[in-house]
Structure 1
């Protein structure tokens, strides 16, 4: 069960709409402020002329420091931004205790190993979802919407390819830090650590809390053609927290998932493996179903092996 102890009036079930509105406003406000700060720091840190900033932020700059600068903006403005937003909402607005001592105490080795199999099964099944979602065809009367979504997908894919087209080990390390560590840590603290327990409390249903959070988590990436695979990942991360009472599991799982992709892209560039982030290869149904079976069995084992250690008090106010 998630740990989010608070007696603040704004976080109560009766004030659910106000609480969610404040959560959204604070989150986007923090992200906007930190991204603005990051942009201002690009010139002094990376010695990139001010008139090149737009080119840097649209992946059009030929400056050798452009990719590092862009990753810096992403790391400070997004990854670190989610961390700041999560703590600001939890500590200042909701006056909540996320029980980090209990979170750490609830992390155990055997469930961690099971989690690795769970992630493996999830990746196998998700490969099918990636293929199906990436090849969705809209009916004729929605052709204009499909064109808009495809154009947006192409734009974001071009940006992703630019960010991960590392030219050095230093850029790879920066990519792992920003795309793997900061994104994994920040997004899990905000979505699973703050939003999921709120939605669990407001809906009165743990599963609704997990899947509404996963839906929002996927939606904020603004990629329809990757929406369902990302939503599944969000659901997996949500159940890791729900069944264990420890954010450590989804944080590690998220970091591993992102870092694995980043490293594969780099190894492909070096000619060590064949991996194209832009391609959605067809996956056989038996392999996908095998992955789903591994995922479900591992999730059940994970739940059985996780017995959250909650001492001191019964956490009456937690959800």
Structure 2
């Protein structure tokens, strides 16, 4: 910091004192030395809510819906329902229930897949005021991974400005722009470092503002799958950085017709199981026998 023009050694020492005081204050809020008891954590987690997906089968798989204070990653091939789930959740997050107050959604689009017309169809299914429903969804289009990070900072500022109003943050998809901006093995390390920073920011936002974070992810061919005789030669991209950052990972695959199959791929509390749902005009819904 001393090498920065305009910052003397005295000024740097003063900045360090302020940062130290802030750290001590933050530690006192959390508990002595930053630690709190498991009982206190249980009390804090009483504010966690779950956003319904639109399908009761998928909600059961997720333990009630998409969890707040957590990152839920949905990955799968194209046309398997990732974006349809995101659109449906933008609507369902606004509907209050006995255990959920309802609120606004924020959508960061990296692949130009967001369609407000689709939201209208879903809104009609739930008998909502369409214009009011659309007003409760904030949308932003990202064209570079750097802009994606900037939009995340803007989202945090918006959450702070309208405290307790937003319930859902969606990024569809989280890796698309990183694949474009960082190509080849020579840029892999830098890509993963930037990705780790974005995911760390996402996790902090989810916990600080008590919002559910839903991110979609793409698939890629696994060159080592044929050597190990794996049943599925494809895997989600992002490597271990994304795998460890996501609280719950859900894989999607196509079934017959408009039926899709969701499976818990990784979760700290949910058992490995599957759920079937359908893609309908009114968003995702339970399959019809």
Q: TM-score, normalised by structure 1?
A: 0.25
TM-score by length of 2: 0.27
Q: Which has the higher contact order (CA 8 A, sep 6+)?
A: 1
